[in-house]
Structure 1
């Protein structure tokens, strides 16, 4: 038996023996017995550096903050506990009170070489109410990497993990994602909640864990296995370094060499990656040429499947919850979710728009005037705005599916988005421009940068700037372009002309996400203030014909890949957004 696990078991048995079956214990005193105060139920755990126990580490239990992103967490132990020579620790079962989601922090300690002040580890657990006297947890480099990447938008340091409100869905889902990657009870991969159809980034997780383990195994932050990590990331400890890598996954390719300092975790990468992103790859049986993605208020992803004529609902960690077929679905493309949680589907192959309940029941069907609709968006009143590609128009549907307005005279419109004021923006693909419409359906502005042609997908950032993708056939060295329209409604020159085929686009705060559908393309990132690419040239990851993109309230970026019938969920990459998107639009 693992000596650390054995030690934890002995601690638990000793506590149980002192308490006794009836909750009271006695000790011999002459011919009688004297009552002894029972020992409180204990929560147990172990802290390790790879396979080595980390002794004399300081362990604290926190509950997350509720006053904003990375707000101050509250310690639940009056005094931190210290690990023993086997790395084991225990503490009384806390009275949760107002405590919600909880996590463990371990700092300092030695695995044999001496105490390293740069040691800082984490393990996200879950609801405080789920803790019991039989709870046992593991903290090591692997739980730290999983916790930091999944919770990256919510973390500043070990004492600052939080979000606005009482257990918002985005933070709760991020905690669940940790336990999909790694089992925080045993420290093993995968975690107990990983979807059966999901593939976790095991080699990248292990490589990052080895980089941390090599540092922690030494006695000083200035050691050759530690200093390069801390210096490159401008961090004081291993937690800070991991967080920097999660926030800027393309900035530290040179850190791969440090993985050679530890072989504690395997299998690991055999070559330096182009970036350090972590993504779950979902290959659910219902996915067939997935195209569009929309995220609901609970963090579930709804994916349209062109060739399967279906709609698939995936949990925040990728488990298939529901597959919707029938109701006239045929080659569906665009999908949007209104403020009531109802689904609106651009049913391209059947020249119609369907309104479905959150359980997949057909609520309404519109077909009047519709011809190959491809994109759809909802306003604050529950109306749907449809890019009616084949009909060269934009149609506004009421919440019951009745045609309210039909703006004609467009040229193959293929993308649509609403801003916070309720203006409607349309990618007028065939005319090489973008149109702005009032909420009454009247054309109010025409935008073109004079270079970008065939605009397709578009999205609006937190500063009300409009971004759209297109092509630049006049430049033989490039294939695509990303253009920006300032909130003043004047178009800039293309932000970037790229050797890429930009497809769908999404925004999250100041981040702009673009699917690069070129061979070997990935997820591209740009920043609104600098207009600069922050991802590798081809994008993060290696995706197969990425189509739809969506961002959830955990800061994860979802990408539907039509080329291999998968959905990838990139963990903690960006600022969380309010979902569904209809929550953020006007009027």
Structure 2
């Protein structure tokens, strides 16, 4: 007993000694045996920030719920602090640190209100963290972008899994352990291969002006979202920039003049302040990623056109794997998955209500592959939530499947497949592939079916790339009507909103590679297009099947291919050219900046959201954290032996989160 008491006394004295090295928590007591400790430093670009009010918070678990303070302290003369706190009961609790600093009085009434305009933030995330944490401008930019859709009034709150996933994604931007750039952002295929690292550092330099007490008013004025109150501190300012990054891009860049603490940095202002990360899984699996579907946890199931090959001049055959990435871009344990008849999947990827993943085996392969694709493009593959193949070795082949492309499950578990080579749609009732049936409207009303979505009434809408049309089917699959006009021209992707509308991406010059058209022909058709094609546009179809007289057009649309609708019903378009992502105002005008109408661009009208991390993109999808994922499907110069790109590109925090899996109309998280 004496030995145990002595040991306990020694441990207590040791903890007291450690506590003496840092300022104590606000309750004045060192951590006991039932408490946890968090230490760290508050730094600005010029060095330590003494006297900062440091708070450890638990994020709210739903929108509008306030964050709960767990402990407080004040940084010492060297910027150091230490906190002790009781661990939250919930294992999913998201913790983060704020440090409020800076002198009041920047030309307004902040001094009278006691507001401190500098708020530095570091996301700790889920679970206990050991080791010190640094709060600086870089960690604040990382937190502001990753948590942009979960931040209001400087506090973080939201539903899982989006909230937890977003906190994890922030660690892809900044290392909170030392305040440096995170490894994923600093190294290939990011790092010096794209401008994202330079943009990230420049944003940190922009913040440093306010940290130094010089540019706060200008920062808050430029960051303010139209129609909303201006931010009162730096963290909310970053989140506001992330949510509308095309606003005042040049003015914000000017705030970094003369500041170059964080290097490398941009040499000129960008079109918009977006942060786009490239994800590659294990580094040798993605080749021609065609589409992505998210499950309930927000993990990404990705179909690939080709077997991975780093050398585009060496011929490859069709991919036989299904990739599955975590929200931070790593392989889920056990992934990628094989079997089930997978071969050369294209645009078809879906997750049904049971968590089963579906891949449409289009039969893509590089020129020179010795296999007969005609034997392999007649199936879909099904996988369980654990990645185990549920379809037979040759895939599910009933229902007239032929060169399948767009694939979607509705909320009842019926799976819809567009047969690009068969002028038909396959409906798989309740996800039972043995009961699959073919639906062929007949004639030339549906040629080269490509994209498919389901609306709020359970009706299916299918694009006909070769017939310049969209076919509407009843929930049971009965053809109801064919929609033409309204600018529908070479339609590719299609997406539904929560108000009953559907939006069509008009590829203009993009001819779907099926029914006699080869990928080489597609490459030839788009090779010399260097400006927006005249027919590149988006058409809105109303619930009654009518369309506006003219489609939506802007220079952010450059060979449109994939299309998605976010949780606020705004529209996102992936482009097969131009290295750009477009965002349009949808039918829910309250979600758009004031003064915009349906179809107006939210992204810069002349460029869209550009990124040199993009190549030729097919799919675009929104995850539960509001990150926008695009598939680098083809290289810019697609050598047909292996034209595939090798990355998913993720724009961090850019869109309103979507509850997944997606069954057609988006549901806000």
TM-score, normalised by the number of residues in structure 1: 0.86
Q: Which residue of structure 1 lines up, in the alignment, with residue 328 of structure 2?
A: 317
Decide whether the 8 Å contact of 1:417 with 1:424 is kept in 2: yes
Counterpart of 1:478? Answer: 534
1:154 to 2:150 alignment = yes
Q: Would you say 1:516 and 2:530 are equivalent positions?
A: no
Whole-angstrom distance in 1 between the partners of 2:457 and 2:140? 42
The corresponding residue for 1:526 is 584
Q: Distance in 1 between matches of 2:237 and 2:8?
A: 43
What is the CA deviation profile of residues 115-159 of structure 1, one whole-angstrom value per residue up to 9, with x for unaligned ones? 9932112111123x514xx5421111111100010010000133x
Aligned to 1:554: 625
Aligned residue in 1 for 2:343: 330
Distance 1:375 1:87, change over 3 A: same
Deviation at 1:25, TM superposition (A): 7.9
Give the Cα separation in 2 of the matches to 1:271 and 1:93: 44
- 1:535 corresponds to which residue? 603
Q: Distance in 1 between matches of 2:660 and 2:533?
A: 38
Matched, 1:45 2:104: no
Give the whole-Å Cα distance in 1 for the aligned partners of 2:439 and 2:502: 21
- SS of 1:260's equivalent in the other structure is coil
Q: Secondary structure at the match of 1:439?
A: coil
Q: Is contact 1:355-1:401 (8 Å) kept?
A: no
Q: How far apart, in 2, do the equivalents of 1:306 and 1:436 lie?
A: 28
Give the secondary-structure state (helix, strand or coil) at the position aligned to 1:431.
coil
- What are the within-5 Å matches in structure 2 for residues 438-449 of structure 1? 438-449=474-485
Does 2:254 match 1:257? yes
Report the CA distance between 1:262 and its aligned residue: 2.3
SS of the aligned residue for 2:181 comes to: coil
- Comparing 86-95 with 146-155, which one deviates more in the overlay? 86-95
Q: Cα 1:312–1:20, aligned 2, differ >3 Å: closer, same or farther? A: same
**1:491 Cα deviation after fit:** 1.2
Question: Residues 289 and 305 of structure 2 are in contact (CA less than 8 Å); yes or no, is this contact kept in structure 1?
Answer: yes
**Against the structure 1 CA distance between its residues 391 and 57, is the aligned structure 2 distance closer, same or farther, given a 3 Å change threshold?**
same
1:456 equivalent in structure 2: 492
Q: How many positions carry a matched residue from both structures?
A: 541
| Greater strand proportion | 1
**Residue 210 of structure 1 contacts residue 261 of structure 1 at CA under 8 Å; is this kept in 2?**
no
Q: Does 365-374 or 114-123 show the bigger shift?
A: 114-123
Shift of 1:24: 5.4
User: Partners of 2:67 and 2:186 in 1: how far apart?
Assistant: 30
CA distance in 1, matches of 2:494, 2:79: 52
Q: Structure 2 regions of 5+ residues with no counterpart?
A: 1-6, 17-27, 225-230, 308-318, 364-375, 510-530, 590-596, 636-644
The equivalent of 2:278 in structure 1 is 281
Does structure 2 conserve the Cα–Cα contact (< 8 Å) formed by 1:56 and 1:109?
no
Q: Is the 8 A contact 2:532 2:559 kept in 1?
A: no
- Alignment partners' CA distance in 2, 1:52 and 1:26: 28
Structure 2 residue 382 is matched with structure 1 residue 355: yes
Q: CA deviation at 1:325?
A: 3.5
Q: 2:98 aligns with which of 91, 94, 105?
A: 105
Residues 148-547 of structure 1 mapped to structure 2, 5 A cutoff: 148-158=144-154, 160-164=155-159, 168-190=160-182, 199=190, 201-218=196-213, 223=214, 225-234=215-224, 235-254=231-250, 255-283=252-280, 284-308=283-307, 309=319, 310-321=321-332, 322-333=335-346, 334-349=348-363, 350=376, 351-364=378-391, 365-368=395-398, 369-398=400-429, 399-408=431-440, 409=442, 410-471=446-507, 478-498=534-554, 500-509=558-567, 510-518=569-577, 520-528=578-586, 529=589, 530=597, 531-536=599-604, 537-540=606-609, 541-542=611-612, 543-547=614-618
In the other structure, the counterpart of 1:124 is 123
Q: 1: CA distance between counterparts of 2:416 and 2:542?
A: 22
User: Structure 1 residues 466 and 583, CA, compared in 2 at 3 Å: closer, same or farther?
Assistant: closer
Q: 2:654 aligns with which of 567, 573, 577?
A: 573
Q: How far does the alpha carbon of each residue in 1:214-238 deviate from its partner, in whole angstroms, 9 at most, with x for none?
A: 12112xxxx4x33322222233322
Matched with 1:33 is: none
TM-score, normalised via structure 2 length: 0.76
Alignment check: 8 A CA contact 1:197 1:319 kept: no
Separation of aligned partners in 2, 1:583 and 1:486: 15
CA separation of 1:307 and 1:477: change in aligned 2, threshold 3 A:
closer
| Contact in 2 for aligned 1:282/1:567 (Cα 8 Å) | yes
Displacement of 1:402: 2.1
Please say if residues 291 and 618 of structure 2, whose CA atoms lie closer than 8 Å, have aligned partners that are also in contact: yes
Shift of 1:377: 0.8
Partner-residue secondary structure (3-state), 2:256: helix
> Is the partner of 1:23 in helix, strand or coil?
helix
1:17-28 matches, within 5 Å, as: 21-23=10-12
> 2-side partners of 1:266 and 1:450: how far apart?
49
Equivalent position SS for 1:417: strand
Please give the root-mean-square deviation of Cα atoms over the aligned residues, in Å: 2.9
- The change in CA–CA distance for 1:202 and 1:447 in structure 2 (over 3 A counts) is same
Q: Which runs of 5+ in 1 are unaligned?
A: 1-17, 28-36
In 1, the alpha carbon distance for the partners of 2:243 and 2:62 equals 21
Taking the aligned partners of 1:337 and 1:48, their CA distance within structure 2 comes to 44
3-state secondary structure, aligned to 2:481: strand
1:86 alignment partner, SS class: coil
d(CA) in 2 for partners of 1:477, 1:329: 34
